[in-house]
Amino acid sequence: MPELPEVETVRRGLALRISGRRIVRAELRRPDLRRPFPPALAARLEGAVIGGLGRRGKYILIELDADGVLLLHLGMSGRVTTGSAALPAARHDHVVLTLDDGTVIRFNDPRRFGLVDYLNRGETARHPLLAGLGPEPLGDEFDGRYLVKALAGKLTPIKAALLDQRIVAGLGNIYVCEALFRAGLSPRRLAASIGRGRADRLAAAIRLVLTEAIAAGGSSLRNYVQADGALGYFQHHWAVYGREGEPCPGCDCAEGVRRIVQSGRSTFFCAKRQR
DNA sequence: CTTTCGTCCTGACTGC
DNA sequence: TGCAGTCAGGACGAAA
């Protein structure tokens, strides 16, 4: 389940391998993912020279030539692998790009919640998928002062508010649970009830869990990629996510980590530490 | 307007 | 062992 740290890890790994290379072949092995591929995508990709790689929330932006951008979203199950042409396309390899040095990039996505789009660089900020995104949680704009303002009047649990990409871009179910635990805030607390003090703690916790996860991804990237070329997932230790019934870390409460369902999603938390 | 909920999809897992 | 049923979740669009 790629969230901001996994996407950032993929971006960094990809940048090392494909920046400056020319795409010599683009194979679209189906016409769509979550939505249809844009018209003439293969033709736009073939011959293009790859520039820098950026990220906005959970989207990867790959600069092509002087004015193009390839937009990728990994959805739930998307993976990007780099390798040689020797490997035949596997099941769920939906987009396969061959570069001028023989590198083959494969976008594999079993559940097909991912997305591929092509845009002109000038319209990046206005693109419908990007325009409404909230600030980058690791950027200068994001802090307690911003959060208080963004959450004001929201009669929804803080858990749901943080999953809303318009409030802050890049968090998913795992890192929201982890950040709320680190901040000592109940996932059920109404967003509007978060004042400056709690917002400061929450913003700091969000930055911390993301920064730590990116560091873990970076350190595991080298070995992981050598194993099978896959970028997108790495082993990481969660404090509460997926740990229902286990002892709460750093707390001796009898109940341990609890799981509840909020807006159809699992939330993991400690009822004693998080208020 | 705001907020919630169903939907898309496949693979991993559970229980009989 | 096999198979049906359940669950996982990002983001969008419909519904309340």
Is any atom of strand B within 7 angstroms of residue A110's beta carbon? yes
A38 near A118, Cβ under 8 Å?
Answer: yes
Q: Which nucleotides of B are covered by protein (CB under 7 A)?
A: 2-11
> Residue A191, CA: closest nucleotide via C1'?
B3
A50 near A23, Cβ under 8 Å?
Answer: yes
> Residue A75, CA: closest nucleotide via C1'?
C10
**Predicted model pTM:** 0.93
Determine how many CB atoms are found less than 10 A away from the CB of residue A106: 22
Which residue in A35, A29, A49, A39 sits closest to A116, CA to CA? A35
Is any atom of strand B within 7 angstroms of residue A262's beta carbon? no
Is any atom of strand C within 7 angstroms of residue A117's beta carbon? no
Smallest Cα–C1' distance to nucleotide B4: which residue has it?
A: A263
Residue A266, beta-bridge partner list = A261
Q: How high is the pLDDT of residue A220?
A: 54
CA-based radius of gyration for chain A:
20
Is any atom of strand C within 7 angstroms of residue A172's beta carbon? yes
Confidence bin at A228 (pLDDT 50/70/90): very low
Helix (H) or strand (E) segment spanning residue A105: strand A104-108
Query: What is the average per-residue pLDDT within A256-273?
Result: 89
Q: How far is the CA of A41 from the C1' of C2 (A)?
A: 43
Confidence bin at A102 (pLDDT 50/70/90): very high
Q: How far is the CA of A196 from the C1' of B9 (A)?
A: 41
Query: Which domains can be identified in chain A, with CATH numbers?
Result: 4-126 (3.20.190.10), 144-269 (1.10.8.50)
Residue entry with tokens 């409460």:
A253
A225 pLDDT more than 50: no
Active site (catalytic) residues of A: 2-3, 58, 265
Q: Which nucleotides of C are covered by protein (CB under 7 A)?
A: 7-12
A103 near A82, Cβ under 8 Å?
Answer: yes
Q: d(Cα A1, Cα A77) in Å, to the nearest integer?
A: 6
Smallest Cα–C1' distance to nucleotide C10: which residue has it?
A: A75
Which residue in A15, A29, A14 sits closest to A80, CA to CA? A14
> Residue A74, CA: closest nucleotide via C1'?
C10
| pLDDT-above-70 percentage for chain A | 93
DSSP A193: G
- Written as six digits, the tokens of A165 are 């990409």
Q: What digits encode the pLDDT tens for the residues A235-259?
A: 567 889 888 888 888 787 888 899 8
Is any atom of strand B within 7 angstroms of residue A259's beta carbon? no
> Residue A241, CA: closest nucleotide via C1'?
C8
Q: By mean pLDDT, which of A93-107, A177-191, A250-264 is the weakest?
A: A250-264
Q: What digits encode the pLDDT tens for the residues A207-222?
A: 999 999 888 876 554 4
A45 near A26, Cβ under 8 Å?
Answer: yes
A240 near A257, Cβ under 8 Å?
Answer: yes
Helix (H) or strand (E) segment spanning residue A26: strand A23-28
Q: What digits encode the pLDDT tens for the residues A27-82?
A: 999 999 988 899 999 999 999 999 999 999 999 999 999 999 999 999 888 888 88
